[in-house]
């Protein structure tokens, strides 16, 4: 990366990903985006993002990749699928930030494979706040990962919200689990009144 803004890859351009695309392109970040739905890619292109045909292409063209998909299986496919990040012999990306809410053990396992096979560090950083907060840059972001990876992505992540490093890989997912448990408990208590 140079002194200019890093090229940022976005994998998953649904409600949250679209918000990230709007925010980052408005701030002047070069964005490369991919989604399994062509209309989502086209919508991101209208915002100023460059379209990519696969997660592999995003990893070849971006310095930092942000992923926001709906399931643990989708996260695994983005990383290990036939056109996934691990299919790239020499990715440009050095860090993959998983903004999805997924299973802790799978997160740790995928992080290990990424590091061993591609030298890409994984930061698990599930978010709280929804699509409007993604567009406004006011999300709560709970991150797990190595210090060096956290330092690399902190400048861009702080443009998306309050970015807090919680510990090693998996700590972001664990914190989100606690957060959701507290939210649900509070909801149940309020409904009893």
Distance CA 53, CA 84 (A): 11
Pick the CATH number of 8-192 from 3.40.50.300, 1.10.600.10, 3.40.50.720, 1.10.1760.20: 3.40.50.720
- 90, 159, 176, 192: the catalytic one is 176
Between the CA of residue 161 and those of 20, 65, 71, 81, 155, what are the distances in Å? 11, 17, 22, 30, 11
pLDDT-based confidence at residue 2 (cuts at 50, 70, 90): very low
Residue ranges covered by each domain of the chain? 8-192
* Contacts for 116 with CB less than 8 Å, ≥ 6 apart: none
Q: With 70 as the cut, is the pLDDT of residue 182 above it?
A: no
What is the distance of C-alpha 33 from the center of its chain? 12
Is the overall model pTM greater than 0.85, yes or no? yes
pLDDT tens by residue, 115-169 = 999 999 999 999 999 999 999 999 999 999 999 999 999 999 999 999 999 999 9
Q: Would you state the structure tokens that stand for residue 184, as one six-digit string? A: 């649900």
Q: State yes or no: is 192 an active-site residue.
A: no
Burial state string for 6-42 with b = 16 or more CB within 10 A and e = fewer than 16: bbbbbbbbeebbbbbbbbbbeeebbbbbbbbeeebbe
């Amino acid at each position: 990366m140079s002194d200019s803004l890093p090229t940022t890859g976005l994998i998953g351009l649904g409600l949250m990903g679209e918000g990230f695309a709007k925010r980052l392109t408005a701030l002047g970040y070069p964005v490369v985006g991919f989604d399994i739905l062509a209309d989502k890619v086209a919508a991101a292109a209208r915002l100023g993002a460059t379209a990519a045909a696969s997660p592999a292409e995003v990893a070849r063209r971006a310095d930092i990749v942000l992923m926001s998909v709906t399931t643990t299986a989708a996260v695994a496919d983005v990383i290990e699928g036939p056109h996934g990040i691990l299919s790239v012999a020499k990715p440009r990306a050095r860090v993959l930030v998983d903004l999805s809410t997924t299973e802790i053990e799978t997160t740790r396992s995928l992080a290990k494979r990424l590091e061993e096979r591609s030298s890409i560090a994984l930061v698990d950083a599930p978010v709280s706040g929804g699509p409007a907060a993604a567009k406004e840059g006011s999300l709560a972001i709970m991150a797990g990962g190595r210090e060096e990876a956290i330092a690399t992505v902190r400048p861009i992540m702080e443009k998306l919200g309050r970015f807090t490093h919680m510990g090693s890989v998996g700590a972001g997912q664990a914190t989100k689990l606690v957060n959701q448990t507290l939210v649900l408990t509070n909801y149940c208590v309020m409904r009893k009144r």
